[in-house]
Chain A
Amino acid sequence: MSRVLPSHRVSVHRVASGGMSLFAPTGLLGPSSTLDKEDTVLAPPSFTLNGLLGPVASTSALAASSSESGPSKVFTPTGLLSSDVNGTKSAPIELPYDDDEPPTVAQALGIPPPVSEYVSPFTVRATTFDGKTIHLRKKPPRRNRLLLGSFTERMGNLLDVPIHRLLEGLSTDTAAKLQASDIQAATHPESEAITEDTLWVDRYRPRQFADLMGNERVARETMAWVKQWDWCVFGKTKAGKKRPREGDEAFDAMDEYRRPREKLLLLSGPPGLGKTTLAHVVARQAGYEVMEINASDARSGSVIDDRIRPALESGRAVGSTKPVLLVIDEIDGATGAGESSNTFIHKLIQLTSDKPRKKNRKGHDNNAKRPILRPIICICNDQNAASLAKLRAVALQVRFVRPADVHTVKRLREVCEIEGLKADGRALTTLVGIARGDLRGCLNTLQFIKSRNHEVTEAVIRNATVGMKEADTSLLSVVNSIFSPLTRKRVKELGLTEADESKFVGRISREIDGCGRENSVAVACFAHYATVHQHDANFSRYEKANEWLVTFDLLSAAMYSDGDFALSQYIAYTLVPFYPLFNQRGGQRIERSQADWEAAVQTRANEEIYKSLSRCLQTASTRHGGDYRHLVGTPVMQLEFAPCLNRIISPPLRPVNSQVIKPEERAVLARLVDIMATLELQFYQERAEDGQLTYRLDPPIDVFVTYDGKRAADIAVSRYAVRHLVAGEIEAQMISRKVDIIEKGKRGKHDFFDKSSPAKKPGDGGSLSSPTRAPDGADTPNKRARVEPKPVDIADKPPTDFFGRLITAPSLSTTKAAERKNVEKKYRVTYKFKEGNSAAVRKPIKMKAFM
């Protein structure tokens, strides 16, 4: 029996003690009951001696004690009777006799037992209706009865497991261990060694809604939300009668499934307050089967499609008849921060926001995504985690807050009583204070203490919770604890003396270390030290602070650039001095400052602009024989080139038509356009938000003369009309240049062949160049020579082809080629494609007109 689950044991003890109030050691009972009438009544002929009797005894005892009547208490020990009272274990045939028997038993027991026959101390003799005598094995004596008996009364309402489950568990356990415990009990009846194989956290986890502690509002809110799904999940028949309650208006009128407006519930709060437990309890209470996804599962976006969607669509878990409720635990660790559409969070939101479609009901659109008809509860610690930003918008948020310490202490005291720990309220209050209301942490600590001593005093608590103090190490809390001293309340909670309180180095450095983001802490310190309102006449304090920041930077630079991570243990200490320098009682709470981050973002954007400018310079230098390349260098471009270039490209032009401007202005315009086109700087037309058209410089190098959002004063603001003019000119220039490049490319080839053909055939060159040369296609060298002149006319090739085909059959013999040549030389036609001009006149015309 030593390994029975404690909750079971509790009940057993209670029963036993109830019995014991009348009976001394059970061994004596055996003989007394032999002559009892009840015994004869109850023992059926079919009754056989087996191992089950032990448990029978105990279960019956339970039932008896729960009725709390004196007689039944008396009645318990025999084991036989109890089985009848409850009727769960022994044969059902016996049941009819049960109910009227107890009083007689009591009477019978009142009679001093006659010692007539020899009965083994471990058996009970009983007689059947037929007068047969049978021996029943007696329930073995229980250990710890006396130890725990005194707590019985107070524990009466603490039964947190349904009774039938208790009974089941108890009976199987006892059946298995009966023999062993029998012997053990006989040899060491006083043994108190209890080995524990479950955590208290699990043992005292609430199993029912009513057991939930603290946060009643949170629990109710959660339950109410889950209940809102009833209409959708269970159909109106079940929940119909409850409809006209106020919860009704939460339903989305547009939703044909009458789901709640928010399809997700987001539970958030510090660890150890019972978020997961709440979700599970509520789900079970509301009749759902829980499907849990937590940090131990893969949580990429694909999981949604692979696992969650099928489960939710089918509506119930495998092998269960209950509808499924999805609990996503520790969701703040899931992927979701990025913009990518494949993150877990993104997919989850998508999943819930799928619009129900009428067709789906009829099921002839299987591929379409079906709406989700099951509730989803998400649980996280940090409500403001970056990855949850999108989720927050669509979820009903329920925040857990630390319950009043009184409640936690009360629950702890109850647990201590059950476990036989002597705990004074003061010690427990301290414990809760240190743990910041973390009930799980408290229970674990208590269990740990229990394993060593039986008394919980303040000293013991302090000893056991040495490491627990810095449980909360988010960036903001660390920064806040640097800039403000411990609150009086916290000092009291931690039980620090004056001397302890003044010792800050260890505390602060541990917090900074625990946070693990020294760089961010440093940035936050940097951002806030100057905002602390303290009189500092000669800046000595600020100097010191900066000295430490510089030291921090040197250390961390050495650490990261040289990989010298042995330095990391000293890093935290460089930030500790901010505490004595700047801590301030009652200063306002520090919020995160974005200045540094914003500057970094801005820097990155501007670097990108510089890069594109340097790319422009590179291309310009390839076109102009490496001319611009000297301006690309790192300091030169930012310091000299960018400011000057901005001035060069913004001359004070008047917004007039390019045809009518003064000659000197025309020169300036031409130059401006030249430079801009070379550098591929362009004005792009853009429509602003207010519908106004603007020209934007691209790449936007004008940011480099814009400081504090203001352009340099000496640069004239170029007006829309001017930019329009310039943009048009640049475009024309770019186009003409493109044409130039194409033609240059053609000419380049042309030149190449011109040069190379004489090199190959110096003798033939002269004859080839004369266009009127008569074709003689007979000899092979000439044939090859025919092939060569073709490229000469590459620039005019399309017309050549065109004419050739028009005039002759599409054969490409050498003679034809020559003919073509003659024809082409006589009537030379060139086309020029003018991009952007569409002033064409369409008119039917014969080919003859060209020739």
Chain B
Amino acid sequence: MSLWVDKFRPRALDDLHYHHNLSARLKSLAASGDFPHMLFYGPSGAGKKTRITCTLKQLFGPGVEKLKIDQRVFLSPSKRKIEVNIVQSNFHLEITPSEAGNYDRVVIQELLKEIAQTQQVDLNAKQRFKVVIINEADSLSRDAQAALRRTMEKYMSNMRIILCANSTSRLIAPIKSRCLLMRVPAPSDEEMQTVLTHVARRAYFDLPPEAAQEIIKDANGNLRKAILVLEALKMQSPDLTGPLTIAKPDWETYCQKVATLIVTEQTPARVMEIRTKFYELLSHCIPPTVILKTVAEAVVSQVDETLKADVMHWAAFYEVRMRIGSKKIYHLEAWVVKVMSLYKQSFYSLDMSDF
């Protein structure tokens, strides 16, 4: 049995609940016959992948839903084995090259060429080309993106590429210019509300609107998260009545705690305490950039107006450094110390102005 996220996922473009303009556009594109390379981008949980699968169904018919999942082993130049999971149907193929880490270039080169150089053999296929979906395209290395460039032009007759990314900022310009960019914005609260009620109806229960509002507020435009939370909530308290507390993910609660620690006291001992908390978060595989962002947001909500801009500025500053660097904890702590120092300074200057 599947989770609700999957179970009630729309399968066709017509079933989608929001962004109807986008759906209409995709539909006409699929019908037009010259389907371009595409780049879907937008925040997490906005429905990019759902739209991609719907588009595929529109292109090829129900055949795309017959999926086969297997693992391919690639050999890196240094003879290291790289395993990549490939989801494919007769008409398309879905890969996540970031699974290969630094060797994503090898995967892109070998796999795409292989696909691109074989023609569609099924005479009944609606389209002459196959579609390759590349997930997490924004984590593709520069080499892999470069490897993609020429392939996208050369084998246009056999293959279309659909990239799926959170933001376009990490894709090189040549790739962006070869694709039709599709922005999938996060759904509005009302749209989410309709989706949640739809899910509830399909799962045969009534969702009180207050509960839905709570969930939506917490999900922050991430529909996947909203539905997961809904399901968790339903499991936790099956009747969904009475005062509901939406459980935040634990790492988020923990980040809040860290923020409170920063604001309440600024001493070396506190720095050490926060450091152990950061270690704990990092060891739970929470991406350091997410930690920094979440803590910074929590700090901003607690500090004085004058400091907010500075706190965020330094968070951004250290996030950049963190991405360049390799030892994440240094950067996290550097930011903490910076914020503490800012806080102290503002505190003292306030005192001074008073006297």
Residues of A within 8 A of B (CB): 522-523, 526, 530-533, 536-540, 542-543, 546-547, 549-550, 552-554, 556-558, 560-561, 595-596, 598-599, 602-603, 606-607, 610, 618, 621-622, 624-636, 638-641, 643-645, 647-652, 664, 667-668, 671-672, 674-675, 678, 703-708, 712, 714-716
Count contacts on B: residues with CB < 8 A to the other chain. 76
Please indicate the chain B residues that have their CB under 8 angstroms from the CB of A560 in the complex: 326
**Is the Cβ of A678 less than 8 Å from the Cβ of B331?**
no
**Do A671 and B266 form a contact, CB below 8 Å, given A626-B69, A633-B136, A635-B44?**
no
Complex CA–CA separation, A715 to B249 (angstroms): 11
**Is the Cβ of B3 less than 8 Å from the Cβ of A595?**
no
Please indicate the chain B residues that have their CB under 8 angstroms from the CB of A634 in the complex: 98, 136, 139, 287
**Is the Cβ of B2 less than 8 Å from the Cβ of A633?**
no
Please indicate the chain A residues that have their CB under 8 angstroms from the CB of B94 in the complex: 629
**Is the Cβ of B272 less than 8 Å from the Cβ of A638?**
no
B328 and chain A: residue at smallest CB distance: A553
Which residues between 42 and 93 of chain B lie within 8 Å of chain A, taking CB atoms? 44-45, 49, 65-67, 69, 85, 87
Complex CA–CA separation, A547 to B338 (angstroms): 10
Please indicate the chain A residues that have their CB under 8 angstroms from the CB of B69 in the complex: 618, 621-622, 626, 629
Complex CA–CA separation, A348 to B250 (angstroms): 50
**Is the Cβ of B268 less than 8 Å from the Cβ of A557?**
no
A-B pair count, CB < 8 Å, reads: 212
**Is the Cβ of B2 less than 8 Å from the Cβ of A672?**
no
**Is the Cβ of A537 less than 8 Å from the Cβ of B344?**
yes
**Is the Cβ of B341 less than 8 Å from the Cβ of A550?**
no
**Is the Cβ of A542 less than 8 Å from the Cβ of B229?**
no
**Do A543 and B341 form a contact, CB below 8 Å, given A536-B268, A599-B283?**
yes
A668 and chain B: residue at smallest CB distance: B238
Q: 0/1 per residue, B338-350, Cβ < 8 Å to A? A: 1011001100100
Residues of B within 8 A of A (CB): 1-3, 5-7, 44-45, 49, 65-67, 69, 85, 87, 94, 96, 98, 135-136, 139, 222, 224-225, 228-229, 231-233, 235-238, 245, 247, 249-251, 253-254, 266, 268-269, 271-272, 275-277, 279-287, 290, 318, 321, 324-327, 329-331, 333-334, 337-338, 340-341, 344-345, 348
**Is the Cβ of B337 less than 8 Å from the Cβ of A526?**
no
A664 and chain B: residue at smallest CB distance: B238
Which of A533, A537, A553 is close to B330, meaning CB atoms less than 8 Å apart?
A553
Please indicate the chain B residues that have their CB under 8 angstroms from the CB of A649 in the complex: 235
**Do A553 and B325 form a contact, CB below 8 Å, given A644-B229, A671-B235, A707-B280?**
yes
Which of A523, A618, A636, A639 is close to B286, meaning CB atoms less than 8 Å apart?
A639
Which of B231, B268, B330 is close to A644, meaning CB atoms less than 8 Å apart?
B231
Please indicate the chain A residues that have their CB under 8 angstroms from the CB of B249 in the complex: 639-640, 643-644
**Is the Cβ of A714 less than 8 Å from the Cβ of B247?**
yes
**Do A628 and B3 form a contact, CB below 8 Å, given A542-B271, A553-B330?**
yes
**Is the Cβ of A543 less than 8 Å from the Cβ of B338?**
yes
Complex CA–CA separation, A675 to B44 (angstroms): 24
**Is the Cβ of B2 less than 8 Å from the Cβ of A628?**
yes
**Do A530 and B228 form a contact, CB below 8 Å, given A543-B341, A602-B283, A678-B2?**
no
Please indicate the chain A residues that have their CB under 8 angstroms from the CB of B245 in the complex: 714
Chain A interface secondary structure, helix, strand, loop or mixed?
A: helix
Please indicate the chain B residues that have their CB under 8 angstroms from the CB of A554 in the complex: 321, 324-325
Chain A to chain B contacts (Cβ below 8 Å), 22 pairs: A542-B341, A543-B334, A543-B337, A595-B275, A602-B279, A606-B285, A627-B2, A627-B6, A628-B2, A628-B6, A629-B69, A629-B94, A634-B136, A635-B44, A635-B290, A643-B250, A648-B235, A650-B235, A678-B2, A707-B250, A708-B277, A714-B245
**Do A539 and B266 form a contact, CB below 8 Å, given A530-B271, A675-B3?**
yes
**Is the Cβ of B330 less than 8 Å from the Cβ of A550?**
yes
**Is the Cβ of B283 less than 8 Å from the Cβ of A633?**
no
Please indicate the chain B residues that have their CB under 8 angstroms from the CB of A538 in the complex: 341, 344-345, 348
**Is the Cβ of B2 less than 8 Å from the Cβ of A599?**
no
Complex CA–CA separation, A522 to B329 (angstroms): 12
Complex CA–CA separation, A522 to B341 (angstroms): 22
**Is the Cβ of A603 less than 8 Å from the Cβ of B282?**
yes
**Is the Cβ of A633 less than 8 Å from the Cβ of B280?**
no
Please indicate the chain B residues that have their CB under 8 angstroms from the CB of A595 in the complex: 275-276, 279
Chain B interface secondary structure, helix, strand, loop or mixed?
A: helix
Please indicate the chain B residues that have their CB under 8 angstroms from the CB of A635 in the complex: 44, 287, 290
**Is the Cβ of B331 less than 8 Å from the Cβ of A644?**
no
Q: Which 10 A-B pairs have the closest CB atoms?
A: A546-B334, A647-B232, A643-B249, A539-B341, A627-B6, A674-B1, A644-B228, A602-B283, A599-B279, A553-B325
Please indicate the chain A residues that have their CB under 8 angstroms from the CB of B5 in the complex: 630-631
Complex CA–CA separation, A644 to B286 (angstroms): 15
Please indicate the chain A residues that have their CB under 8 angstroms from the CB of B318 in the complex: 550
Complex CA–CA separation, A543 to B336 (angstroms): 9
Complex CA–CA separation, A703 to B285 (angstroms): 11
Please indicate the chain B residues that have their CB under 8 angstroms from the CB of A629 in the complex: 69, 87, 94
**Is the Cβ of A636 less than 8 Å from the Cβ of B44?**
yes
Complex CA–CA separation, A638 to B49 (angstroms): 19
**Do A553 and B87 form a contact, CB below 8 Å, given A526-B333, A644-B232, A651-B238?**
no
**Do A641 and B235 form a contact, CB below 8 Å, given A626-B67, A635-B287, A704-B250?**
no
Complex CA–CA separation, A538 to B225 (angstroms): 41
**Is the Cβ of A530 less than 8 Å from the Cβ of B268?**
yes
Complex CA–CA separation, A522 to B333 (angstroms): 14
Given A542-B268, A546-B337, A703-B284, 4 more pairs with CB closer than 8 A: A639-B251, A639-B287, A668-B235, A668-B238
**Is the Cβ of A640 less than 8 Å from the Cβ of B222?**
yes
Complex CA–CA separation, A671 to B276 (angstroms): 38
**Do A618 and B85 form a contact, CB below 8 Å, given A531-B272, A714-B245?**
yes
Please indicate the chain A residues that have their CB under 8 angstroms from the CB of B7 in the complex: 627
The minimal Cβ–Cβ distance linking A619 to chain B, given in whole angstroms, is 9
**Is the Cβ of A557 less than 8 Å from the Cβ of B235?**
no
Please indicate the chain B residues that have their CB under 8 angstroms from the CB of A643 in the complex: 247, 249-251
A621 and chain B: residue at smallest CB distance: B69
**Is the Cβ of A633 less than 8 Å from the Cβ of B96?**
yes
Complex CA–CA separation, A629 to B71 (angstroms): 13
**Is the Cβ of B337 less than 8 Å from the Cβ of A648?**
no
**Is the Cβ of B2 less than 8 Å from the Cβ of A712?**
no
Interface centre among B87, B229, B284, B331 (most CB of A within 10 A): B284
B228 and chain A: residue at smallest CB distance: A644
Please indicate the chain A residues that have their CB under 8 angstroms from the CB of B236 in the complex: 647, 650-652, 714, 716
Complex CA–CA separation, A650 to B281 (angstroms): 23
**Is the Cβ of B87 less than 8 Å from the Cβ of A708?**
no
Please indicate the chain A residues that have their CB under 8 angstroms from the CB of B345 in the complex: 538
**Is the Cβ of A641 less than 8 Å from the Cβ of B228?**
yes
The minimal Cβ–Cβ distance linking B249 to chain A, given in whole angstroms, is 4
Please indicate the chain A residues that have their CB under 8 angstroms from the CB of B334 in the complex: 543, 546-547, 549-550
Complex CA–CA separation, A596 to B236 (angstroms): 37
Complex CA–CA separation, A158 to B228 (angstroms): 89
Complex CA–CA separation, A707 to B285 (angstroms): 12
A708 and chain B: residue at smallest CB distance: B280
A537 and chain B: residue at smallest CB distance: B344
Complex CA–CA separation, A625 to B66 (angstroms): 7
Complex CA–CA separation, A547 to B321 (angstroms): 11
Please indicate the chain A residues that have their CB under 8 angstroms from the CB of B283 in the complex: 599, 602-603, 606
Complex CA–CA separation, A346 to B121 (angstroms): 61
**Is the Cβ of A639 less than 8 Å from the Cβ of B290?**
yes
**Is the Cβ of A556 less than 8 Å from the Cβ of B326?**
yes
Which of B228, B285, B329 is close to A596, meaning CB atoms less than 8 Å apart?
B329
Complex CA–CA separation, A279 to B275 (angstroms): 48
A628 and chain B: residue at smallest CB distance: B6
Please indicate the chain B residues that have their CB under 8 angstroms from the CB of A542 in the complex: 268, 271, 337, 340-341
